[in-house]
Amino acid sequence: MAPWYLSIIFLVFAVYSSAAPSPSSTSLSKRLLTKSSLAQVPRGWNLHGTPPRHHTIKLRIGLRQSNFAELERALFQVSDPSHIRYGLHLSKEEVKDLIAPHPETLTLVESWLASHGIDIDSLDRSTAGDWIAVVVPIHQAESMLGADYRTYKHESTGAEIVRVTSYRLPEHLHDHIDVVHPTTMFGGTLRPTVSRTRIRQRDTGAAVDASCSTLTTLKCLQDLYNTAGYKPRAPSKNAYGITGYAGQFANLADLKLFYQQYLPEATNFTFKEVLINGGQNSQNLSQAGVEADFDMQYAGGLTFPTQNIFYSTGGSPPYIPDANSPSNTNEPYQDWLDYMSTLQEDEIPQTIATSYADDEESVPPDYAIRACQGFAQLGARGVSLLFGSGDGGVGSTEGSACFSNDGKNTTVFLPSFPATCPYVTVVGGTTGIPEVAVEFSGGGFSNYFSRPSYQSEVVNSYLQGLGTTYAGLFNSTGRAYPDVAAFSTNFTTIYEGQSELLYGTSAATPTFGAVISLANDALIAANKPPLGFLNPWLYSGGYKALNDITSGSNPGCGTAGFSAGVGWDPVTGFGTPDFQKILAALGLGQ
């Protein structure tokens, strides 16, 4: 394995294995040491200028969680069908107790902030106190972090953000602060990867249900994944959540047209809207988001009349240099996670799907780890989190060249984040009847997160068959993805009042999520707990309820990519869902 992988994996191991902070000496060092540094500005971003010194930003400081190792242990126990704690998901308060910072951490960090003239009483704190935020001018942030803020512009989207290429913290705080943002986290502007084609003649559902290969509709998916005829039994107790970022708005007029055409009984059915951190959901038809429209149309259509919730989270560029309010920090995951941590058990959907991704290497390890830990908290509380695997095959989610971002520009495969987080379930893509892997299905191995024990056996088996093929192009010890797959081509949707075709794992993700939401409905109706974090169940035997996809590959980076085969593979995971088999595996019948 290339040396740059080793340093990153060591960093992740150090974060996961750390205990409560050890007492510091009474004479605290004032020396600033580098906390995070980039070898080069992430591809796609270019230096654009210098922000005004008095422009304000909202600094978010992630404090070391006191007992994440215990939370991780609990997550796997409540998600493992063979464990005595299976299904005994944690409460909000139980999670809070495990991730609250050590008292010494709070004392040291607050003393540091006070030394920079910050009023401790003015701090914005997360529910567990593991995140604190403060609004400061650029010049004060630079003094606190020993950093130089600059404005960067994204060459393809035109988005502007304020970032640094490195920052420092006092030596004695390195074991107490995991991450400060916005600093070195550029990202790829977190955009959906769905593609679309306008349909010139609007078709009726009846004319196209015979074959998903031609035009994918609700009925096609219901037949394909064996949900046809199932009527949700606990729709008021079960909920399916969809996240929206990057200014994606779900249009109600488009939704009604979609239902009128493909599910008339749901014509007046709608979703609950939740706005987070300045998120919006404009109903101006010209501002409809193709991703948001699709997600809500298929989430609702496949689970009707289960409650659907659309989370619109703000936090995407552009930066406005002359504004008198904090610059946009483009960190929607954490803003969304902060909001979810405030909810009680009966307020959180049992299933949540997200169709957005960045190249893993564009997300600094410290930020990726903390976001991933946030996903673990939701899993421990009984939420099934699904993310798309990306649409770049073994390459970039943005279609850029396959080079490492460590300053060496080594040719490598480019994994996707959050797909590489070991605490979420990742959905790849298929196409055709019978189904085969679609060529854009993202899949591969993390350079940040080591392989979790639940997938060691099946992944090792795949790697043994692969042999030395692509040696040096990927990290063979990393978390492997995707875990599962679903259909991802020729989806008909209504966008801006017109029919369009959609492609992408952005389509596969809410589709697979809908099947899981129906399974959770059946469990709740039987007075059983929801599935929660899926992977321990999937890898320990749940995969037998899936349709194994054995053909196709995900080319990229000048290679043929990985190949689908019998059993798990890094193109389609374990395959696509069969709802009736899932019910049987859970001890339920229709």
| Binding-site positions for Ca(2+) | 548-549, 567, 569
**Around 73, how many Cα atoms within 13 Å sit in the side-chain half-sphere?**
7
Distance CA 201, CA 250 (A): 23
Q: How far is CA 121 from CA 103, 108, 132, 133, 137, in A?
A: 16, 15, 11, 11, 18
DSSP structure string for 177-243: EEEEESSS--TT--EE--EEEE-SSPPPHHHHTT-TTT-B-HHHHHHHTT-TT---S-TTT-EEEEE
Other Cβ atoms closer than 10 A to 49: 12
Largest CA distance in the chain: 77
Tokens of 53: 């010194």
Q: Is 558 helix (H, G, I), strand (E, B) or coil?
A: coil
User: Cα 411 to chain center, whole Å?
Assistant: 25
Q: What are phi and psi of 339, to 5 degrees?
A: -65, -45
Q: What are phi and psi of 33, to 5 degrees?
A: -120, 145
The residues, any chain, with a CB within 8 Å of residue 383's CB and separated by 6 or more, are: 348, 349, 350, 351, 352, 530, 532, 533
Given the residues 36, 316, 488, 506, the one annotated as active site: 506
Q: How far is CA 345 from CA 89, 156, 200, 271, in A?
A: 10, 41, 46, 19
Binding-site residues from annotation? 548-549, 567, 569
Distance CA 531, CA 222 (A): 21
User: Residue 580 is which amino acid?
Assistant: Q
The residues, any chain, with a CB within 8 Å of residue 570's CB and separated by 6 or more, are: 443, 444, 445, 462, 480, 481, 482, 554, 562
CB 35 within 8 A of CB 169: yes
What H or E segment, with its residue span, contains residue 261? helix 252-262
CB 95 within 8 A of CB 377: yes
DSSP structure string for 528-543: -----S-HHHHHTTGG
Any catalytic annotation for residue 291?
Answer: yes
Residue closest to 272 by CA, chosen among 318, 297, 239: 239
Per the DSSP assignment, residues forming a β-bridge with 192 are 356
The residues, any chain, with a CB within 8 Å of residue 338's CB and separated by 6 or more, are: 126, 127, 131
Any catalytic annotation for residue 345?
Answer: no
User: Residue 227 is which amino acid?
Assistant: T
DSSP structure string for 440-459: T---EEEEEEEPPGGGHHHH
Distance CA 574, CA 552 (A): 14
Given the residues 160, 254, 291, 359, the one annotated as active site: 291
CB 445 within 8 A of CB 8: no
The residues, any chain, with a CB within 8 Å of residue 380's CB and separated by 6 or more, are: 71, 74, 75, 78, 89, 90, 95, 532, 533
Distance CA 271, CA 470 (A): 45
Q: Which residues are catalytic?
A: 291, 295, 506
